[in-house]
Structure 1
């Protein structure tokens, strides 16, 4: 049993790369389609997507994106889905469809798609014909694989100032002036100019000096904290089920008695 996996990419280079990697798995080239370029949006109809999905993918192509659609067997579905999920240029189809549905033109696009309007590339899903003809439509679900970024938490690195008491020792010098009065140990007789000098008034000035501590500070870088973010990739297998319409044909032969 085969299923179709479809994804949207922002550039043609990434879409072509995904196509090549899928073909390297052994998927035939004619089972992998790349539709891109605003003038090729109508080619979405060739992918046989469900109506609402086709409208969304067609709009993505009209906006300049590229659609890769691969029809693969069940044993390769996980490998193909993983290839489509890895490129960084992948578009989250769920988010894109949600934004597209919010537009005022969405309902008009859905109604017009497949009605034969020239703007939508002709009729899609037409049934009936001659009076004696009836048509049974077979449908299948397509698995679309996209990516979205999820916030897993934020790391904050803050700095703060803390005052830490420190102690340093320093020796300081202090001067003291002492005045002492003492006897000469005997009387000495002086005369003349020496005697006159003894009776002159004198003023002796002695200055005391003290040392005091002077504190200054300087900023010194002692270490640094480097904030970085590592990115790692992991593989995740997406499993789901899709529905597909099958048809059983029972033919009953009727014997006709000819007389």
Structure 2
């Protein structure tokens, strides 16, 4: 059974990316619907795709507030694949969006009235919501000419931006440490020694002949002196290690490839009797 999956995205660019991914996954372009501008027929179109009227009103309100709606019609065996693609950054809960809008005065669907959504319209909604119905409105791009539905092929072009970042190329580490080594020097030292000698006196020397009273008390004191080695150290700089970092500028050419979307438009309506092929930039 055919089902439709719907998702509301915050802007047209994000929705366009999703459409491209769906096509790359093999979803037929004719099964994808893309809504980016408000339309009086939007609610009816969604209901025709199986979206409940209350949800259709909410989706229409999201589109009016700047969002873009994608709906995909798919078979049961494709639902999981489609949902995986639709569930991307930027998708929001529809219930949360409705709560926010109601706080601003939006009243939602009223079965007693036949008009469109009521309430205040304004700032672009910053998100999207997704729903799966029994006959779900999944991202479906209808054929050109359907009222209120846009056929959109995003034209993208990449630009090359070259920045800079610092990277390390190794480092130089210098660490000083103190080591000891044995040294020796020779020095001549003087040492005094006092010797005491007793010797006999020979001959006929008499007491008192030496010019002093031999019985007088006397004290003789002689000090021994000597030299000892004294060590002192003096530090002097014999060499220097200088570390400096030089900076040089160089110009490097960075080469890469960028992608660009090109679109060829084939018009086989035989206008003025000839067929024409227009490129995306308008040249013929």
Question: Fold conserved (TM > 0.5)?
Answer: no
More helix per residue? 1
TM-score (norm 1): 0.42
User: What is the TM-score with the length of structure 2 in the denominator?
Assistant: 0.39
**Structure ID, larger Rg:** 2
